[in-house]
C-alpha cells in the first residue's frame, strides 16, 4: 500500500498509509491525542475523525480543547433538538440543521411551532442529554437512504444534489433516532453541558423565494452552564446595541416601505457619520498614492459578460432592457476601473496605477436575508483597485495591509485574518490560481500574521485576504479585503510596455479599507453603542442655554468659535435638567452649559456624556482641544479626563 503525506499546523509533514483516517493520524502523532480526537479540519473543512485523508492535505486535529470543538458540540445539539421535536411531533419533517457561529438552527415543516413550545421541547432535549446516548456514525446505501426518506422531499433533495455522487451515505444515530449528515459530532449526547432554544423565524428552502417556506428554529449550546449564562447576557446586551434600534433613537437611517427592501435612506445624522468615514478613507487613500475616479451605476451587460460577473452573478444582478439592449446595475466596481485603465497606454515606469472610489453597487439578495444595514440591496464599497507589475505585488499588498491595520487601530478594533482560496465557481487556470494563492500566503507569512484558511471562499476571479472586525461584544463582522487578480487583466486585455519594449499584463489588486460602508456603519454603531467618537459623532456639541436670555450668547459661541464642528443649540423652553438628560440620551459627546455667569465671564461650562463637568472654561482652550481630539481621532471624548 502506498503512502500519503499530510501537513500539520506547525508545517511538519506526517507520512501515513493510504486510507488512513483523521484519528489514525492523531494516533500516529501520539496515543493520547488519538484518544482525545473529536474531529479534524482538513484543508479548512471540519470533518469526522473517521474521514479518510488524502495526499497533500493540511490537517488540524480537533479535541475538546480546540476552538472548533464548540461547533461540533452545537451540531450535535441541533440533532438533539430534532430528535426531541420528532418525539413530541412525529409528523414533523426535517430539512437541514447546521451549526452556526452563535449556536445552531434546524429548518422544519409539517408542524405548527411558536416560542411557547420551547419549554416542552427543551424538557425533552434535557431528557436526551441526561440519557447520554452514544452518537454513532453509520454508512447506508443510497437505496436505504431513499427508503428512509420516502416521505421527506428535503432530504431527498439533499440526496439528489450534495450527495448525488455518493454510493454510500453517512448517518448519525442516537438511541432510536437518526439523521442524514456528514458530521462531525461529539461522542455522546451527554457531552452537551448547556443549551437554549432562542427564537423562531421563517426561511425558504435553499434560500429560494420560489421554494417552500419552512420554520427555522434557532438555538445554542455550550460545554458549561456558566458559558450559556454569559452568552445570554451578551445577547441581551446585543439587543440593546442593535443598530436598527439605535438608528431610530439617533435618527440615523430608515428603510421605508416605498423604497423597497434593502434600500436604506440615510437621514442627516447618518449622512454626517458616513461623510466622516468617507473623508477618513480618502485621507488614507491619498496618502497611499490612490487617485479618485467615478464610474456609473449602470453598464451594458457586455461589460459584465467580459468581466465574468454575468456568468457568476447574473442571478444576483438587477437587469433591465433599454432600447432592446440589456443593461445591469453594477454588482461590483472593478470592471469600471479596469475600463478606465484600458483607456491609456502605460509604461512599466508608470506602474503601479491606483484608483479609488466610494462606489455604490447593487446585489439582489433574497428578501429573507435582508437585515437592517448588515445586508442590503444597495451598498457602497470604499473600493480601490491598483494595477502593478508582478515584481511590485509584495510591496503593494504590504502597504495595503498597513492601511487596513491603521483603520483597526483607529477604531480600537481587533482583527481576525483569513486567506480565502479558490471557490467552486471561478474563472482562470489552475496555474494562475496556485500562483496567486502562494503569493498572498507569502505576504501573510512575511508579515508574521496569524491567519486561517477559508477554503473555497475566494472571489470568482482570485483569492483574497479577508479581515474581520471584532466588536466590543466579541462578535466578528466581515470587513476589508485584499484580492489578487490575474484573470481580469486577461479578460480586458490590459497591458503595459515593459523595459524590453514588449507588451505585458499587469496584475490587478482589489482592496477595501472598510468593506461596505453600510456594514461598517452598522458594526460601529453597535460597537460604540451609538456613542461615536467625537470626530465621528453626527452631533459633536450641544449648547444648552440655561434660559432664553443666553440664546444669543450660545449662537455667538457656535458661530465665532465652533463653526468648524457639528454644533446644535437646544433652544426649547425646557429646564436645564431636561436639556442635559436629552443630550445624554442622544449620546452627544460634549454639552456646553451657558448661563448668566458664563456670559458675563465669557466662558463656558463643559459636560461630557460620562457626566463629568468643568466650569469656567475658556472657549479658545476648549476649541484647541477639540481640534486635537478630532485630528488624532481619539476613541473617547477626553477634555474632562
Annotated binding site for Zn(2+): 334, 385, 510
- How many residues can be counted in the chain? 641
The Cα–Cα gap between 132 and 174 comes to: 9
CA dihedral 11→12→15→20, nearest 10 degrees, is -50
Mark the binding-site residues, compressed into ranges: 334, 385, 510
The Cα–Cα gap between 631 and 638 comes to: 13
The Cα–Cα gap between 188 and 129 comes to: 8
What letters, b where the CB count within 10 A reaches 16 and e where it falls short, cover 107-130? bbbeeebeeebbeebbebbeebbe
Contacts of 299 (CB under 8 A, 6+ apart): 327, 328, 330, 335, 336
The Cα–Cα gap between 171 and 180 comes to: 4
What's phi and psi for 142, nearest 5 deg?
Answer: -60, -40
| CA proximity to 478, closest of 467, 462, 487, 488 | 467
CA dihedral 309→356→417→366, nearest 10 degrees, is -40
| CA proximity to 592, closest of 640, 556, 545, 523 | 545
**Quick check: 180 and 149 in contact, CB under 8 A?**
yes
Residue 72 pairs in a beta bridge with none
What's phi and psi for 470, nearest 5 deg?
Answer: -105, 120
The Cα–Cα gap between 351 and 353 comes to: 5
The Cα–Cα gap between 461 and 239 comes to: 38
The Cα–Cα gap between 618 and 564 comes to: 17
Give burial (CB, 10 Å; 0-12/13-18/19+) of 36.
middle
Amino acid at each position: 500500500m502506498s503512502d500519503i503525506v499530510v501537513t500539520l499546523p506547525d508545517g511538519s509533514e506526517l507520512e501515513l498509509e493510504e486510507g488512513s483516517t483523521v484519528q489514525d493520524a492523531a494516533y500516529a502523532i501520539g496515543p493520547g491525542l488519538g484518544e482525545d480526537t473529536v474531529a479534524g479540519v482538513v484543508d479548512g473543512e471540519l470533518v469526522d475523525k473517521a474521514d479518510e485523508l488524502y495526499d497533500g492535505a493540511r490537517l488540524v486535529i480537533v479535541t475538546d480543547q480546540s476552538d472548533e470543538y464548540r461547533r461540533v458540540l452545537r451540531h450535535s445539539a441541533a440533532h438533539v433538538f430534532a430528535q426531541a421535536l420528532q418525539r413530541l411531533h412525529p409528523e414533523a419533517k426535517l430539512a437541514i440543521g447546521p451549526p452556526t457561529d452563535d449556536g445552531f438552527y434546524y429548518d422544519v415543516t409539517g408542524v405548527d411551532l411558536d416560542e411557547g413550545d420551547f419549554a416542552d421541547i427543551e424538557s425533552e432535549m434535557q431528557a436526551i442529554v441526561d440519557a447520554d446516548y452514544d452518537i454513532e456514525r453509520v454508512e447506508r446505501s443510497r437505496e436505504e437512504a431513499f427508503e428512509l426518506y420516502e416521505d421527506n422531499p428535503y432530504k431527498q433533495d439533499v440526496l439528489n444534489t450534495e450527495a448525488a455522487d455518493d454510493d454510500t451515505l453517512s448517518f448519525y444515530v442516537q438511541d432510536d433516532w437518526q439523521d442524514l449528515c456528514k458530521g462531525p459530532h461529539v461522542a455522546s449526547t451527554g457531552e452537551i453541558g448547556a443549551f437554549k432554544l432562542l427564537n423562531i423565524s421563517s426561511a425558504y428552502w435553499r434560500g429560494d423565494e420560489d421554494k417552500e417556506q419552512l420554520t427555522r428554529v434557532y438555538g445554542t449550546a455550550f460545554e458549561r452552564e456558566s458559558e450559556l449564562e454569559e452568552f445570554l447576557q451578551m445577547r441581551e446586551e446585543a439587543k440593546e446595541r442593535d443598530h436598527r434600534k439605535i438608528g431610530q433613537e439617533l435618527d440615523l437611517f430608515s428603510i421605508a416601505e416605498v423604497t423597497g427592501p434593502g434600500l436604506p435612506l440615510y437621514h442627516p445624522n447618518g449622512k454626517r457619520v458616513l461623510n466622516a468615514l468617507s473623508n477618513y478613507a480618502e485621507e488614507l487613500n491619498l496618502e497611499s498614492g490612490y487617485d479618485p475616479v467615478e464610474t456609473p451605476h449602470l453598464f451594458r451587460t457586455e461589460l459584465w459578460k467580459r468581466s465574468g460577473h454575468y456568468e457568476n452573478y447574473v442571478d444576483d444582478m438587477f437587469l433591465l432592457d433599454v432600447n432592446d439592449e440589456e443593461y445591469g446595475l453594477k454588482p461590483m466596481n472593478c470592471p469600471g476601473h479596469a475600463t478606465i485603465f484600458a483607456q491609456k497606454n502605460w509604461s512599466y515606469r508608470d506602474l503601479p496605477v491606483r484608483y479609488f472610489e466610494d462606489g455604490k453597487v447593487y446585489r439582489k439578495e433574497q428578501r429573507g436575508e435582508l437585515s437592517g444595514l448588515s445586508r442590503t440591496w444597495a451598498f457602497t464599497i470604499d473600493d480601490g483597485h491598483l494595477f502593478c507589475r508582478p515584481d511590485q505585488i509584495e510591496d503593494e499588498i504590504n502597504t495595503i495591509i498597513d492601511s487596513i491595520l491603521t483603520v483597526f487601530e483607529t477604531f480600537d478594533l481587533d482583527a481576525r485574518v483569513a486567506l480565502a482560496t479558490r471557490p467552486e465557481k471561478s474563472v482562470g487556470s489552475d496555474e494562475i490560481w496556485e500562483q496567486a494563492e502562494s503569493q498572498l500566503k507569502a505576504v501573510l507569512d512575511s508579515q508574521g500574521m496569524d491567519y486561517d484558511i477559508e477554503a473555497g471562499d475566494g472571489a470568482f476571479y482570485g483569492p483574497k485576504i479577508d479581515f474581520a472586525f471584532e466588536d466590543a461584544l466579541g462578535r466578528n463582522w466581515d470587513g476589508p479585503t485584499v484580492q489578487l487578480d490575474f484573470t481580469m487583466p486577461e479578460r480586458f486585455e490590459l497591458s503595459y510596455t515593459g523595459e524590453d519594449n514588449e507588451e505585458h499584463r499587469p496584475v490587478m489588486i482589489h482592496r477595501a479599507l472598510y468593506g461596505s460602508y453600510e456594514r461598517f456603519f452598522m458594526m460601529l454603531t453597535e460597537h460604540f453603542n451609538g456613542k461615536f467618537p467625537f470626530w465621528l459623532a453626527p452631533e459633536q456639541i450641544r449648547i444648552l442655554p440655561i434660559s432664553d436670555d443666553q440664546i444669543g450668547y450660545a449662537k455667538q459661541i457656535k458661530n465665532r468659535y465652533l463653526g468648524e464642528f457639528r454644533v446644535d443649540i437646544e433652544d426649547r423652553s425646557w429646564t436645564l435638567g431636561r436639556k442635559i438628560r436629552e443630550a445624554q440620551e442622544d449620546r452627544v459627546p460634549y454639552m456646553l452649559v451657558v448661563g448668566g455667569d458664563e456670559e458675563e465671564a465669557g466662558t463656558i461650562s463643559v459636560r461630557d456624556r460620562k457626566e463629568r463637568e468643568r466650569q469656567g472654561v475658556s472657549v479658545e482652550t476648549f476649541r484647541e482641544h477639540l481640534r486635537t481630539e478630532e485630528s488624532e481621532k481619539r476613541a473617547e471624548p477626553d477634555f474632562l479626563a
